[in-house]
Amino acid sequence: MAEHESNPFNGEHDRKPGSPQAHPRAPADSGEATTPITMVEAALDLASKGWRVHPCRPQGPKAKSPLLPHGHLEAASNPEKICGWWARWPNAMIGAVVPESLFVLDIDPRNGGSVEALEAVAGTLPATLSTWSGREDGGRHLYFLRPRGELTSGNLPPGIDLKLNGYLIMPPSLHPSTGRAYRWEPHAVASVPPALREVLRPPRPEPSRTQGRQPECSALVRLVGRLTAGERNRGLFWAACRATEKGLLPAVEDDLVAAATSVGLPEREARKTIVSARRTAGSQR
């Protein structure tokens, strides 16, 4: 697979300052001879490559949850902080914040997730940076470069989750149920394949429910769907006022919102504009 030109995870020379590399030094499952390292050494190694880490509970009913008062929001790459945390909790699991430049697919076999199920809807996946759960049931995290635009998990098979933020448990943390280590499958982080990008793409709003039923509704929806930046709020307000005056707003409101979002207006803002129009036009009837 051709590498992404701006991929900071494929080598030292094109790594952006502060960006995580693909994986920490010599993972034990990479086929290389390695010396076992402690959790604090592994956490420091991740931090040295740009990852922001924090300690998580290794056992008990809250295992995997953050030990810090503000959770992953306190994650850091500062060696002094990390040494202090693991001096206090030497057996803590390692949590790492999902970098903004990546997204992660979390495959959980306990809920029916599998790579085979994912490939059934998204086609063959490229080799990419992965971590395997110490639960030893086939659970894993697949890291991909995050593309532009919104991503959604709505079309993913059961047992597969989309992680865009928050944190994940990192190797070589020991799973609380098995005592086995999470492990790396070291690859360069792959760009998202086109077929997978389509699976993750939000459905495009199609403001057509009123077409053929109410000519006046359809005309208002088409008008909103042609608005450009700078006139979207004003145009939506005008259309919603006309719909209110004609008693059509209950039937056309969702279509007006869909049309407005299709030209770039956030849904929340569109609905606030319609509420304002309903009050204005309603008070004049």
171 lies in the same domain as 232: no
Copy the structure tokens of residue 61.
């009913």
pLDDT at residue number 284: 59
pLDDT at residue number 214: 63
- Of 143, 174, 200, the residue that ends a domain is 200
Count of structural domains within the chain: 2
Average pLDDT in the 200-229 region?
A: 74
- Of 200, 226, 258, the residue that ends a domain is 200
47 lies in the same domain as 185: yes
- Non-local CB neighbours of 98 within 8 Å, separated by 6+ positions: 104, 163, 164, 165, 166, 167, 168
User: For 4-13, 121-130, 266-275, which range has the lowest pLDDT when averaged over its residues?
Assistant: 4-13
Whether the CB-CB separation of 153 and 122 falls below 8 Å is answered with no
113 lies in the same domain as 159: yes
Mean pLDDT of the chain: 84
233 lies in the same domain as 160: no
Domain-embedded: residue 85 = yes
pLDDT at residue number 86: 98
188 lies in the same domain as 57: yes
- Of 165, 200, 235, the residue that ends a domain is 200
Predicted confidence band at 252 (pLDDT cuts at 50, 70, 90)? confident
Does residue 161 register a pLDDT over 60? yes
Q: Which domain covers residue 242, as residue numbers? A: 215-283
Domain-embedded: residue 235 = yes
pLDDT at residue number 283: 62
Number of Cβ atoms within 10 Å of the Cβ of 269: 15
pLDDT at residue number 50: 87
Domain-embedded: residue 5 = no
Q: What is the pLDDT of residues 40-66, one digit of tens each?
A: 999 999 999 889 999 999 999 999 999
Q: What is the pLDDT of residues 86-137, one digit of tens each?
A: 999 999 999 999 999 999 999 999 999 999 999 999 999 999 999 999 999 9
Does residue 34 register a pLDDT over 50? no
pLDDT greater at residue 207 or residue 74: 74
How many residues appear in the chain?
285
User: For 9-23, 36-50, 60-74, which range has the lowest pLDDT when averaged over its residues?
Assistant: 9-23
Average pLDDT in the 207-220 region?
A: 64
Domain-embedded: residue 139 = yes
134 lies in the same domain as 228: no
Preceding amide of 207 cis, omega within 30: no
Predicted confidence band at 32 (pLDDT cuts at 50, 70, 90)? very low
Copy the structure tokens of residue 242.
């006309």
Whether the CB-CB separation of 96 and 46 falls below 8 Å is answered with yes
161 lies in the same domain as 59: yes
Whether the CB-CB separation of 167 and 96 falls below 8 Å is answered with yes
Domain-embedded: residue 244 = yes
Domain-embedded: residue 10 = no
191 lies in the same domain as 239: no
Average pLDDT in the 202-224 region?
A: 69
pLDDT at residue number 203: 77
Average pLDDT in the 213-224 region?
A: 80
154 lies in the same domain as 245: no
